[in-house]
Structures are given as C-alpha cells and as structure tokens.
Amino acid sequence: MNQVIHLKNRPKGKPELEDFEFVEEKKPQAADGEMLLKTKYVSVDPYLRGRMRDEESYIPPFQLNEPLESGIIAEVVESKNPNFEKGDFVNGMLDWKEYQTATGNGLNKVDPDKASLSAYLGILGLTGLTAYISLEHIGKLQEGETLLVSGASGAVGSTVGQIGKIKGCRVVGIAGTDEKIKLMKEKFGFDHGINYKTIDDMNQAVAKACPDGVDVYFDNVGGEILDAAMQNINKDGRVINCGAISLYNMTETPKGPRYEGIMVKKTVRMQGFLVRDHVREFGPATQQLAQWLSADKLTYEETIVEGFKNIPQAFLDLFEGKNKGKMVVKV
C-alpha cells in the first residue's frame, strides 16, 4: 500500500497535526510514457501555509481531502519514458505520497554526485534562487552598504547574508535564539546578530547594530521587525518583501505603524518578490550559486527530519523556529 498525506481541514490560525490526514491507497503503476517515482526528500516551506487558505493567490489553494504537494526529490524506480532511466533522481513539485507516477513534465534530473540530493531543495533549489535573484533585482547591493536580514538563520536568510558578505557589505541578521545568532556569525560570517525574542526595543536594537543605518532590508518575516527596519532605513534604501511568516497564521488583518512618510522622505524602494516570476534566470543563477559553493564562498545548513510520517510535524515546526537552515524531510 502507498501512504498519502491529505489536507483535512483548512487551518484557523496556527496549523495543527489534525489538519492533515494519512490515507492509504494502492501503489500506482506506470503507464506507457510514465515512470514510477519513490519520494526521497520532501521540502517543507512556510509559503505552503498560504495554499491551505481557500483564497485566490499566485498559486492555487490546496483542495480538501486531496494530497498536498511541495518540492520533492524522487528516485525513478521504474521507467516507461525514454527520457528517464531507473535509478535517475528528479526534482519538481510532487504530491506528498511515498510512490507516485509522473510523465516527467516539470521535473528536472539532479546529479547526486555533484551535490547532496537535499541541497537541490535548498541552496541549489528555490531557496538559493530566491536569495540570489531577489538581491540582484531589488537589493542591488553596493560594497560597504549595510544589509539587514530577518529570518537570518533560516534557509533563504542564511543564503542572503552570505551573498551580502560576498558583495562586501556589513551584514546584520535577526533570528529567534542565541544559538542561531552564534550560527549566523560563526558559520555564515554575519557581522552581527539580534535575537528578536530577547530584546525589548527592536528599533533601538537595529539602530545599535546598524550605526550607519540600513541600506537594504531583506524581509522574511514582516510585522514588527519590518517596522523596526523602516525606522532605521537610509536614504535610497531598498526593502525586499520576500516573506512575512509572522503574519501567515493571523486570522485578522494586522494593523501597524504607517511609513509612507519615511518612504517619501528617504526615497525608499520597497518591492515584493516571487521567485516563480524569474524562471528564465534559474539556469545562470544556479550556476553562480554552485560556483560559490565549490569555491567555499557559500555554505549551508539543513535540518533533516526522518520519516514520511513526520512531514506535517516538520512543516508545523517552521512556525516554532525549530529549523536551522533548510527544513527537509528524508523519507
């Protein structure tokens, strides 16, 4: 039998294990032109929370009592498609199933000899691409500038900070534990870290950590941390709205300070970013990331949870900050 994970309820507020359901189905068989895939690594990502709402967005919502999907690395265990062989590994958006069939459309082969399989879901996948492409398009980092990053010990944030160092910037990260601050300084080379859970005044903490102000703020979390970054933004500052995890589980539209005045006075550019809008740049961007990796200019951290049955819990743990670097489930 084949294990499948369905969305059982649309979560209200913070998602819970009860919102997911494990269902058994018959193991599928590949038809002509198809292959049978065995799931090896599953990416769990904060944006999946948005797909659990029944709302129109840039990506369709999950359907109740249907499988969830995310970035998955799978092994081809049987192939009736001439473009794929048994033993190949593929990467793409696939269902939360132990086994599934696929035609190969939208799937890319990945080479386990060039990088660990899980890295294709992180630094060499959408995580790395998000960090690199958004910094190129919106950040436009200049040597000597101050880059402030939130979610800084997470998958995207830790990559952003390291690219900031490659570009010769002063890099300050914000994260939720002292252990994460240590990691971002010692492993990722950040100049300074702020633990947002232990400081009283975020505005002051950012001002102290960024004595020359903030030239580029990379926002992974939104809310009060974004507000503090805006209070410290420099003339011609750039704000990259990549994510807003602090708001994802809110049930009402949050209210906060208004910063239109700051944006005019300081001629700030604030821009939302969606990595999926930049598919044409994926090739060269991946090459650049791979080159930095092999030159040891870039490194990465992963939190690898074992077991198909733990996929929902690993997803929930993102909202508790239990991951360092990319959260991945090994099946």
For strand 20-25 and strand 2-7, is the pairing parallel, antiparallel, or unpaired? antiparallel
Q: Which stretch binds ligand NDP (CB under 6 A): 92-100, 153-161, 228-236, 253-261?
A: 153-161
**CB of residue 138 to ligand NDP, shortest distance in Å:** 11
Build a one-symbol-per-residue string for 4-43: x at contacts with ligand NDP by CB under 6 A, - elsewhere.
----------------------------------------
Q: Is 188 helix (H, G, I), strand (E, B) or coil?
A: coil
Q: Is 228 a binder of ligand NDP (CB under 6 A)?
A: no
Residues 310-329 that bind ligand NDP (CB under 6 A): 318-319, 321, 323, 327
Instruction: Report how many residues bind ligand NDP under the rule CB under 6 A.
Output: 30
For the bound state, the minimum distance from the C-beta of residue 290 to ligand NDP, rounded and expressed in Å, comes to 19
Please identify which residue in 11, 128, 157, 193 interacts with ligand NDP, judged by CB under 6 A: 157
Nearer to ligand NDP, 145 or 219 (CB): 219
Site string for ligand NDP, 71-110 (x = CB under 6 A): ----------------------------------------
CB 11 within 8 A of CB 60: no
Closest CA to 62 of 236, 315, 282: 315
Q: How many residues does the chain have?
A: 331
Asked if 125 interacts with ligand NDP (CB under 6 A), we say: no
In the complex with ligand NDP, the residue whose CB is nearer, 130 or 234, is 130
Q: Which residues pair with 170 in a beta bridge?
A: 146
Give counts: helices (H), strands (E), the chain: 9, 15
Cβ within 8 Å of residue 184, ≥6 positions away: 152, 153, 158, 161, 173, 175, 190, 193
Rounded distance, CA 51 to CA 57, Å? 8
206 is a site residue for ligand NDP (CB under 6 A): no
Give how far Cα 227 sits from Cα of 46, 72, 177, 268, 269, Å: 21, 35, 20, 14, 15
Of the residues 138, 214, 242, 329, which one makes contact with ligand NDP according to CB under 6 A: 242
Amino acid at 66: E
Instruction: Answer whether 175's CB lies under 8 Å from 181's CB.
Output: yes
Give dist(CA 300, CA 157) in Å, integer.
11
119 sits near ligand NDP (criterion: CB under 6 A): no
Binds ligand NDP by CB under 6 A, chosen from 177, 203, 231, 299: 177
Positions in the binding site for ligand NDP (CB under 6 A): 45-47, 126-127, 130, 151, 153-157, 175-177, 180, 220-221, 242-243, 245-246, 273-275, 318-319, 321, 323, 327
